[in-house]
Amino acid sequence: MSDLPKSVSLREVGPRDGLQNELPVPTDAKVRLLDMLSQTGLKRIEAVSFVHPRAIPQMADADEVWSQAKHVDGIRYSALVPNLKGTERALAAGFRELEIVVSASDTHNRKNINRSTAESLADIEAVAARVHEAGATLEVIISTSFGCPYEGEIPVSRVLDVATHAVRSGADRLAFGDTTGVGTPSRVAALVDGVRSAHPDVPVLMHFHNTRGTALANLLTAMQHGITEFDASVGGLGGCPYAPGASGNVATEEVVHMLEDMGIDTGVDLDALLEVAAYAQEIVGHELPSGVLKAGPRTRTVAA
């Protein structure tokens, strides 16, 4: 197959995005999950979020989790922040890669963080200034980039407008989230082409959900259109608690399994990752949606 990258950069989001959408798990389980992930070959891990404990009780122990977890050299750990207060906490905790979310859909933004998209973009400008002052970087994650559970269609032009505002507000990187798994390959191609044309020098990451089975087809399409950075969640942990019907971050092991078989280097040890997925399933106490976790990798044969 032509036009495919030789390697991709995966960011593991299970410890934050994943666990944020599960019932709270004990601090030591979060630490162990992080430590196990740090041994798989993953080079980027979204570790925690510094949100208000009343809003997201699952992340109330972010400081303890991060102070107890091993920080492995060569791994880029990141934290999600909702505002300036969270930014101060993340910077004080030592994070140098921060992320902040804005929704391309005004209705979803209001439901998610109780303000309009325009208000969020104004907040982002202040957060970016503080982050840069501290010598750190800020990624703006644009959620509902492929459609909104409330508004339905979100035109590519709207998503690109939000992206351009985010870059002007100081975003060092952009991420586009398929928050409720409504993306399809043609939508991915259109958005990726638009973003790369409008912001050729800004690193772009895609965050796909597998809610309707399209995650790996979307990821393949994004690669064919030049994207080499993807989020994925071990075991398929998590989703979005404010988005009805949103289940299923694409499972990291499904991504690694497909890409490595295609000769695209992820740097990840699939067997080690599957052990982490089994552990993730154990701590949340219910079956996770990952097919590779259930069925095993393609190389696992049985006696005839």
The residues annotated as belonging to the active site are: 240
Which span (33-41, 59-67, 83-91, 209-217) binds a copy of itself, by CB under 8 A? 209-217
Pick the binder of a copy of itself from 20, 49, 87, 210 (CB under 8 A): 210
Q: Contact at 8 Å (CB) between 16 and 237? A: no
Stretch that binds a copy of itself, among 16-24, 112-120, 129-137, 185-193 (CB under 8 A): 185-193
Determine if 299 is a binding residue for a copy of itself (CB under 8 A): yes
- Candidate segments 10-18, 48-56, 76-84, 258-266, binder of a copy of itself by CB under 8 A: 258-266
- Nearest alpha carbon to residue 182 among 162, 210, 161, 216: 210
| 214-243 footprint of a copy of itself as x/- string (CB under 8 A) | xxxx-xxx----------------------
Nearer of residues 50 and 208 to a copy of itself, judged by Cβ: 208
Site string for a copy of itself, 188-207 (x = CB under 8 A): -x------------------
Which distant-in-sequence residues (6+ apart) come within 8 Å of 253 by Cβ? Answer: 234, 235, 270, 273, 274, 277, 290, 292, 293
Applying the rule CB under 8 A, the residues between 128 and 147 that interact with a copy of itself are 147
Are 137 and 203 spatial neighbours (Cβ–Cβ below 8 Å)?
no
| Structure token pair of residue 129 | 């200034």
Task: Examine residue 185 and tell whether it contacts a copy of itself (CB under 8 A).
Answer: yes
Q: Kindly state whether residue 258 participates in binding a copy of itself, applying the rule CB under 8 A.
A: yes
**Per CB under 8 A, does 86 bind a copy of itself?**
no
Does 272 sit near a copy of itself (CB under 8 A)? no
CB-CB neighbours of 241 under 10 Å? 12
Is residue 114 a contact residue for a copy of itself (CB under 8 A)? no
Interface positions, 149-168, toward a copy of itself (CB under 8 A): 149-152
Q: Does 116 bind a copy of itself (CB under 8 A)?
A: no
CB atoms within 10 A of CB 47: 27
Tell me if 296 contacts a copy of itself by CB under 8 A: yes
294 makes contact with a copy of itself (CB under 8 A): yes
> Could you say whether residue 6 binds a copy of itself (CB under 8 A)?
no
Instruction: Annotate 137-150 with three-state secondary structure.
Output: EEEEEEECCCCECC
Residues engaged in binding a copy of itself (CB under 8 A): 1, 107, 110-111, 147-152, 180-182, 184-187, 189, 210-217, 219-221, 244-248, 250-251, 254, 257-258, 261-263, 290-292, 294-304
